[in-house]
């Protein structure tokens, strides 16, 4: 199972936006693009001295103010490590903190059940991952309603078919009709059944995390999942400066199985942080480093992902906002800090506040994805479907995002020069006042030269009107519907499929129908 990820050659990258990309965007089931290996420079918004200032202030926060770890076992581990502990408040000496953080590997392989879809996380590698956690969907008829298991199945199917998505996530939308104590079983089953890409774990209780690992063990083998990363899970620090028992329980399960966690403070800047972009980064950095250090008390050398979710709040209403310039600026700062620590890092790509797949959604998404790519993010989450500050996953938005990721994949892969000599020869062949449509170079490259999306419309007004005058949101829903019609399931071995069904049935017998 532990097949190395395939690096993207310039030739592979050049073709990804052409025939290969357009074939995928027509909805034909096909292999995923390999890990995106960025061939463009990272952009650092501030000088190294400013990065060092934030770093030092973060260390001072943890030494002087400390961070809450609200769990008895966590407190015992910190005491044994030599931290200054007072009840649940942990103050961490900077030397101890950085010694623990340094144990995290700078890169790791995230293994898929189909080894050809395994990916690399860290370094110059980037992967795109769909959204997570929406209670609502904006459906194929453009209605906003609660999500269902059928919707979740659909989103996992589209994620499987989208070439530039490298993971199927897990809770893309909540299957609200399933009782909460049993819901996690069906979420993980859907991710494993409908896609053979890497997936994400459940963190809402220790028991649910253990069930996730048991289901992964059925698919990959129990011995395999004790050491080899097959899933990523999200743990959020409760800003300001609290790691609660639920998140710490999940950390214990996954880190001890060598499964990477995203250690990501959930910061509403101006509400759970100070009303300052640089002040917010100093706090969030401290929170993330404390979480990462704790994972190394659980299993030294386990792979982890330095994370952040930082959005500003509307200071008039308190509502979270999506693609703001400050969110992008904070992303650049977090990227610089991640490089300083040599840590793989996560940010969010297409998370927006817009309620519809409209112009606002496009502007917000572009602001953040541009920053994610140029800041060198490794795990770009919320890269498909996100609407309404994460409350809603939209079918149209999901399909649009998947298409746009093909373009971002090509953008981040850099400019190839492998056909430059032939292009120059074509100029000499055509000369003044000619055209290039019949040249051999054009015939060889017309499908691969440029990214040509299928949902966006570039026809004349007359042609657009003759075809129904459809807006982008409508075309996005049609694209999603067509992809679902073309879906072919990547079948599990029958014994594994039976094992998953039996496990779910046994667990459902023991679990209550509601939370008491």
Q: Answer for the pair 349, 356: CB distance below 8 angstroms, yes or no.
A: no
Residue 201 CB contacts under 8 Å (≥ 6 apart), including other chains? 170, 188, 209, 212, 213, 231, 232, 233, 250, 254, 259
- The tens place of each residue's pLDDT in the chain, 516 residues long, gives 333 332 323 333 323 333 334 344 333 345 689 999 999 999 999 999 999 999 999 999 999 999 999 999 999 999 999 999 999 999 999 999 999 999 999 999 999 999 999 999 999 999 999 999 999 999 999 999 999 999 999 999 999 999 999 999 999 999 999 999 999 999 999 999 999 999 999 999 999 999 999 999 999 999 999 999 999 999 999 999 999 999 999 999 999 999 999 999 988 888 888 889 999 999 999 999 999 999 999 999 999 999 988 888 887 887 788 889 999 999 999 999 999 999 999 999 998 999 999 999 999 999 999 999 999 999 999 999 999 999 999 999 999 999 999 999 999 999 999 999 999 999 999 999 899 998 999 998 888 889 989 999 999 999 999 999 999 999 999 999 999 999 999 999 999 999 999 999 999 999 999 886
Which whole-number Å values give the CA distances from 233 to 204, 236, 284, 421, in the listed order? Answer: 11, 10, 19, 47
Taking Cα atoms as reference points, which of 114, 166, 144 lies closest to residue 3? 114
Residue 325 parent element (H or E) = helix 325-341
Q: Answer for the pair 381, 264: CB distance below 8 angstroms, yes or no.
A: no
Q: Can you give the pLDDT at residue 469?
A: 97
Strand-strand pairing, 266-269 and 309-312: parallel
Q: Can you give the pLDDT at residue 140?
A: 98
Strand-strand pairing, 125-128 and 379-381: parallel
Q: Can you give the pLDDT at residue 321?
A: 82
Which letter, b or e, does each residue of 113-134 get, where b requires 16 or more Cβ atoms within 10 Å of its Cβ? bbeebbbbbbbbbbbbbbbbbb
Please state the φ and ψ torsions of residue 34, each to the nearest 5 degrees. -70, 175
Please state the φ and ψ torsions of residue 4, each to the nearest 5 degrees. -65, 145
Cα of 125 vs its chain's centroid, Å:
13
């Amino acid at each position: 199972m532990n097949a190395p990820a395939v690096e993207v050659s310039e030739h592979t990258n050049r073709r990804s936006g052409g025939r290969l990309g357009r074939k995928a965007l027509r909805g034909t089931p096909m292999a995923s693009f390999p890990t995106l290996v960025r061939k463009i420079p990272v952009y650092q918004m501030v000088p190294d001295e400013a990065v060092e200032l934030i770093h030092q202030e973060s260390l001072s926060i943890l030494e002087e103010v400390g961070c809450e770890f609200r769990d008895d076992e966590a407190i015992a581990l910190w005491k044994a490590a030599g931290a200054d502990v007072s009840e649940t408040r942990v103050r961490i000496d900077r030397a101890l903190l950085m010694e623990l953080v340094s144990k995290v590997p700078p890169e790791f392989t995230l293994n898929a059940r189909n080894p050809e879809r395994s990916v690399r996380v860290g370094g110059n590698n980037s992967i795109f991952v769909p959204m997570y956690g929406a209670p609502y969907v904006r459906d194929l008829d453009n209605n906003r309603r609660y999500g269902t298991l059928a919707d979740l199945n659909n989103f996992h199917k589209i994620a499987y078919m989208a070439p530039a998505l490298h993971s199927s996530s897990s809770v893309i939308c909540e299957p609200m009709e399933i009782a909460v104590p049993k819901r996690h079983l069906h979420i993980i089953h859907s991710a494993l059944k409908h896609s053979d890409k890497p997936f994400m774990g459940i963190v809402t209780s220790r028991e649910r995390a253990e069930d996730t690992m048991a289901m992964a063990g059925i698919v990959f083998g129990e011995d395999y999942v004790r050491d080899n990363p097959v899933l990523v899970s999200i743990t959020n620090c409760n800003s300001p400066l609290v790691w609660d028992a639920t998140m710490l329980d999940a950390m214990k399960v996954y880190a001890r199985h060598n499964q990477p966690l995203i250690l990501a403070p959930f910061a509403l800047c101006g509400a759970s942080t100070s009303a300052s972009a640089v002040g917010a980064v100093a706090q969030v950095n401290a929170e993330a480093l404390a979480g990462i250090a704790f994972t190394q008390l659980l299993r030294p050398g386990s792979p982890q992902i330095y994370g952040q979710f930082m959005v500003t709040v509307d200071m008039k209403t308190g509502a979270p906002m999506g693609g703001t310039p400050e969110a992008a600026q904070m992303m650049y700062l977090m990227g610089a800090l991640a490089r300083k620590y040599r840590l793989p890092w996560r940010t969010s790509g297409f998370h927006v506040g817009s309620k519809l797949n409209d112009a606002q959604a496009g502007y917000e998404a572009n602001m953040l994805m541009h920053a994610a790519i140029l800041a060198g993010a490794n795990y770009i989450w919320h890269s498909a479907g996100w609407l309404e500050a994460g409350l809603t996953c939209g079918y149209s938005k999901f399909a649009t995002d998947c298409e746009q990721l093909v373009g971002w994949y090509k953008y981040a892969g850099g400019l190839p020069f492998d056909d430059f000599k032939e292009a120059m020869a074509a100029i000499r062949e055509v000369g003044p006042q000619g055209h290039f449509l019949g040249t051999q170079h054009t015939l060889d490259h017309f499908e691969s030269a440029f990214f040509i999306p299928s949902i966006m419309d570039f026809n004349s007004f007359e042609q657009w009107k003759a075809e129904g005058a459809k807006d982008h949101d409508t075309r996005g829903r049609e694209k999603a519907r067509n992809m679902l019609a073309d879906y072919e399931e990547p079948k599990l071995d029958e014994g594994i499929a039976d094992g998953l069904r039996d496990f779910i049935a046994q667990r459902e017998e023991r679990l209550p129908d509601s939370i008491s």
